[in-house]
């Protein structure tokens, strides 16, 4: 059992000061901790930041973000405290799905720059201690990819079997499988009179992963990028690599979706067992590189059991399957978050958690957790929830300044095709992909020149919600993120401490402890988040501790902390109050 030294500082603190401002850690900027040792993988200490290249920074004034633009903002990311960037696809693409339809896997789309620009980006990022993670789309290609063009050219083309081609049934589709983006997952190619399968858009035909040549080609592509020095891949839609060879119909579920189709369970097109053979092969490939590349799986698995399988029975598959269970929570609920963080923490494979609250496919966290009245306070609370647990957090550009989701007002303004198919129920994903808001400059917030029309409009709130303005406001969300990120990189309990749930039955306050291993010197870190709109008074029960004797210091909080409330036996948390406390 761990012995906690008895100190009377709590009392002294209360005497010396009645209020601490929104407390921020006093630590200095210190070098990012990046380890390359096998036993201490870098990705466990890293904070990953997703860059959507179209929307991050335009350097050549064509209204579309680009690689030179990203490069020019690396120092900003370094100062923020980011260890790795995941950049969504920048390969040549017809851009039907804004890069997730790739026509050439070993090149850069001229919209974003050149391979030379990419090499400079990689070098500059690495010199700043920032790793670059590529997005790789293994499940499908663009229909403009030369592989598909060959495959479609005749029934007996050598690449015919690289994709999933089937005859129709009774003059219609081969079966009832549906595309995630609406309607049948089969499209008839009149030339050969067969249907090809696509889990996503018609222009994104699925590869046939049962064909060894497909695997070989994809692994070659991954080597190409790893040889350049990238630090891993975020693997798009990987649970969908295989489909049932016998084409069983998927079971229907009650109701209809936003596209007007019957709801369906993707039973025969998702999570087929063969996917684990591929994961093991991918892991071997990654492990053969000395910089320990990481594999991150886009894994919107229905249960933690399914997610856990992705780590592999021998921890020999994906290091970081993204936890969509957490990301999909659409309410601020202490019991729900407590349960889900505990579940991933105790996953049967003992895998390392990876979680996020915003990305380029879903409504930003500002709206999903904001109640309309306390959104700024809640945004800070969510930052604490994101950056303090044990695991690898993944941020999305702009969340650190509180960017909102800004949906198109009219169907004719929609750029994301699902927003056109599903309008008005499904407005697409443009709303969470608007340009990064760098400055108050009107009209384009420093994303691109004021005389240019950006590919998506810059939201009007950019005049106040932007990096430049928030930099100079000590109480801004941006500075709050910076403080948390510094703390995360310097506080031993946050780097290597375990995660212990406390107050397990509280309906409003989600609290946990980051605990140093027994016998180690240093302090534990306690986190308490009031997820309700009422003030809460609670006893924060630190296990094994003699409460009166604990030394307590507020490290960060999203409210002015009355020092008297630092009594762990009776802590007062204001509505949506979040506090991070050192205890020893």
- Residue 237 binds ligand NOJ, judged by CB under 6 A: yes
* Count of residues that bind ligand NOJ according to CB under 6 A: 9
How far CA 461 is from CA of 62, 254, 387, in Å, comes to 22, 40, 26
Radius of gyration of the chain (CA): 25
Q: Which residues pair with 501 in a beta bridge?
A: 512
Minimum CB distance to ligand NOJ smaller for 242 or for 480: 242
- Residue 483 binds ligand NOJ, judged by CB under 6 A: no
- Provide the minimum distance between the beta carbon of 368 and ligand NOJ in the complex, in angstroms, as a whole number: 17
114/109 Cα distance (integer angstroms)? 7
Show the tokens assigned to 228. Answer: 């350049």
Minimum CB distance to ligand NOJ smaller for 95 or for 392: 95
- Residue 206 binds ligand NOJ, judged by CB under 6 A: no
9/15 Cα distance (integer angstroms)? 10
- Provide the minimum distance between the beta carbon of 360 and ligand NOJ in the complex, in angstroms, as a whole number: 6
- Provide the minimum distance between the beta carbon of 90 and ligand NOJ in the complex, in angstroms, as a whole number: 14
- Say if CB 326 and CB 337 are below 8 A apart: yes
Pairing of strands 84-87, 131-137: parallel
Minimum CB distance to ligand NOJ smaller for 181 or for 576: 181
From the CB of residue 289, how many other CB atoms can be counted at a distance below 10 Å? Answer: 16
Binding letters toward ligand NOJ, positions 271-310, x by CB under 6 A = ---------------------------x------------
- Residue 96 binds ligand NOJ, judged by CB under 6 A: no
Minimum CB distance to ligand NOJ smaller for 94 or for 562: 94
- The length of the chain, given as a count of residues: 584
Q: How far is CA 440 from the centre of its chain?
A: 27
- Residue 97 binds ligand NOJ, judged by CB under 6 A: yes
Minimum CB distance to ligand NOJ smaller for 97 or for 399: 97
- Provide the minimum distance between the beta carbon of 560 and ligand NOJ in the complex, in angstroms, as a whole number: 40
Question: DSSP assignment, residue 523?
Answer: -
52/131 Cα distance (integer angstroms)? 16
With H, G, I as helix, E, B as strand and everything else as coil, classify residue 216: helix
348/321 Cα distance (integer angstroms)? 14
- Provide the minimum distance between the beta carbon of 47 and ligand NOJ in the complex, in angstroms, as a whole number: 20
- Provide the minimum distance between the beta carbon of 545 and ligand NOJ in the complex, in angstroms, as a whole number: 44
Concatenated DSSP letters of 456-514:
SPPPGGGGTSSHHHHHT-TTSHHHHHHHHHHHHHH-HHHHH-EEEEESTT-SSEEEEEE
Cis status, amide bond into 443, omega within 30 of 0:
yes
- Residue 133 binds ligand NOJ, judged by CB under 6 A: no
Is 274 one of the catalytic residues?
Answer: no
Classify the C-alpha dihedral 554-557-559-560 as positive or negative.
positive
- Residue 506 binds ligand NOJ, judged by CB under 6 A: no
- Say if CB 264 and CB 252 are below 8 A apart: yes
In the range 137-196, which residues lie near ligand NOJ by CB under 6 A? Answer: 137
- Provide the minimum distance between the beta carbon of 572 and ligand NOJ in the complex, in angstroms, as a whole number: 42
In the range 98-117, which residues lie near ligand NOJ by CB under 6 A? Answer: 100
Binding letters toward ligand NOJ, positions 539-578, x by CB under 6 A = ----------------------------------------
- Residue 323 binds ligand NOJ, judged by CB under 6 A: no
- Residue 42 binds ligand NOJ, judged by CB under 6 A: no
- Provide the minimum distance between the beta carbon of 345 and ligand NOJ in the complex, in angstroms, as a whole number: 25
HSE value, Cβ hemisphere, 13 Å, CA-based, for 502: 21
- Residue 426 binds ligand NOJ, judged by CB under 6 A: no
Residue closest to 63 by CA, chosen among 445, 579, 467: 445
Burial of 453 (0-12, 13-18, 19+ CB in 10 A): exposed
- Say if CB 286 and CB 320 are below 8 A apart: no
Name the residue whose CB lies closest to ligand NOJ: 100
Minimum CB distance to ligand NOJ smaller for 58 or for 236: 236
Binding letters toward ligand NOJ, positions 239-278, x by CB under 6 A = ----------------------------------------
Active-site residue (options: 298, 300, 354, 524): 298
Minimum CB distance to ligand NOJ smaller for 135 or for 317: 135
Active-site residue (options: 101, 206, 236, 491): 236
- Residue 456 binds ligand NOJ, judged by CB under 6 A: no
From the CB of residue 8, how many other CB atoms can be counted at a distance below 10 Å? Answer: 11
- Provide the minimum distance between the beta carbon of 361 and ligand NOJ in the complex, in angstroms, as a whole number: 5
Minimum CB distance to ligand NOJ smaller for 66 or for 416: 416
What strands lie across the sheet with 354-356, from one edge to the other?
320-321, 294-297, 232-236, 131-137, 84-87, 48-51, 392-396, 354-356
**Binder to ligand NOJ among 83, 143, 236, 506 (CB under 6 A)?**
236
- Residue 324 binds ligand NOJ, judged by CB under 6 A: no
HSE value, Cβ hemisphere, 13 Å, CA-based, for 180: 16
- Provide the minimum distance between the beta carbon of 326 and ligand NOJ in the complex, in angstroms, as a whole number: 17
Minimum CB distance to ligand NOJ smaller for 178 or for 476: 178
435/199 Cα distance (integer angstroms)? 28
- Residue 361 binds ligand NOJ, judged by CB under 6 A: yes
Is 236 one of the catalytic residues?
Answer: yes
- Residue 200 binds ligand NOJ, judged by CB under 6 A: yes
Query: Looking at the annotation, which residues are catalytic?
Result: 236, 298
Give residues in contact with ligand NOJ (CB under 6 A).
97, 100, 137, 200, 236-237, 298, 360-361
């Amino acid at each position: 059992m761990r012995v906690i030294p008895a100190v009377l500082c709590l009392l002294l603190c209360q005497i010396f000061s009645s209020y601490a401002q929104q407390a921020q850690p006093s630590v200095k900027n210190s070098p990012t901790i990046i380890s390359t040792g096998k036993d201490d993988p870098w990705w466990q200490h890293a904070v990953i930041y997703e860059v959507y290249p179209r929307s991050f920074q335009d350097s050549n004034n064509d209204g579309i973000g680009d690689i030179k633009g990203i490069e020019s903002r690396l120092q900003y990311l370094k100062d923020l405290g980011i260890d790795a960037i995941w950049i969504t696809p920048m390969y040549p693409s017809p851009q039907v799905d804004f890069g997730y339809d790739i026509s050439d896997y070993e090149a850069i789309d001229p919209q974003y720059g050149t391979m030379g620009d990419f090499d400079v980006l990689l070098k500059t990022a690495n010199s700043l201690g920032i790793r670059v993670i590529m997005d790789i789309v293994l499940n499908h290609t663009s229909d403009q990819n030369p592989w598909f063009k060959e495959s479609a050219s005749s029934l007996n083309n050598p690449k015919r079997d690289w994709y999933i081609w089937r005859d129709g049934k009774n003059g219609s589709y081969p079966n009832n499988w549906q595309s995630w983006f609406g309607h049948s997952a089969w499209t008839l190619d009149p030339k050969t009179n067969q249907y090809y399968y696509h889990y996503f858009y018609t222009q994104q035909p699925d590869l046939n992963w049962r064909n060894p040549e497909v695997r070989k080609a994809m692994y070659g592509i991954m080597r190409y990028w790893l040889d350049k020095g990238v630090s891993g891949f975020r693997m798009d839609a990987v649970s969908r690599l295989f489909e049932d060879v016998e084409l069983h119909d998927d079971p229907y579920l009650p109701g209809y979706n936003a596209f007007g189709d019957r709801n369906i369970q993707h039973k025969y097109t998702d999570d087929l067992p063969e996917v684990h053979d591929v994961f093991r092969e991918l892991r071997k490939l990654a492990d053969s590189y000395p910089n320990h590349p990481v594999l991150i799986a886009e894994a919107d698995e229905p249960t933690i059991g399914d997610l856990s399988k992705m780590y592999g029975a021998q921890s020999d598959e994906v290091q970081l399957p993204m936890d969509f269970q957490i990301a999909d929570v659409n309410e601020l609920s202490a019991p729900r978050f407590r349960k889900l963080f505990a579940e991933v923490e105790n996953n049967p494979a003992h895998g390392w958690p990876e979680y996020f609250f915003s990305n380029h496919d879903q409504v930003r966290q500002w709206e999903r957790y904001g109640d309309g009245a306390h959104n700024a306070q809640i945004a800070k609370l969510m930052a604490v929830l994101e950056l303090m647990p044990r695991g690898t957090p993944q941020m999305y550009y702009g969340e650190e300044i509180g960017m909102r989701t800004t949906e198109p007002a009219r169907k004719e303004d929609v750029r994301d095709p699902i927003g056109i198919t599903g309008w008005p129920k499904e407005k697409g994903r443009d709303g969470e992909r608007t340009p990064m808001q760098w400055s108050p400059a009107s009209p384009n917030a420093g994303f691109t020149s004021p005389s240019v029309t950006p590919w998506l409009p810059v939201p009007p709130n950019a005049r106040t919600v932007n990096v430049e303005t928030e930099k100079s406001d000590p109480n801004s969300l941006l500075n709050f993120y910076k403080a948390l990120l510094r703390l995360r990189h310097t506080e031993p309990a946050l780097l290597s401490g375990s995660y212990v749930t406390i107050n397990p039955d509280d309906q409003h306050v989600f609290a946990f402890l980051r605990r140093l291993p027994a016998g180690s010197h240093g302090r534990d870190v306690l986190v308490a988040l009031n997820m309700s709109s009422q003030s809460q008074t609670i006893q924060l029960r630190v296990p094994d501790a003699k409460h009166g004797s604990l030394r307590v210091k507020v490290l960060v909080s999203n409210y002015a902390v009355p020092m008297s409330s630092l009594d762990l036996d009776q802590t007062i948390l204001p509505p949506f109050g979040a506090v991070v406390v050192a205890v020893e």
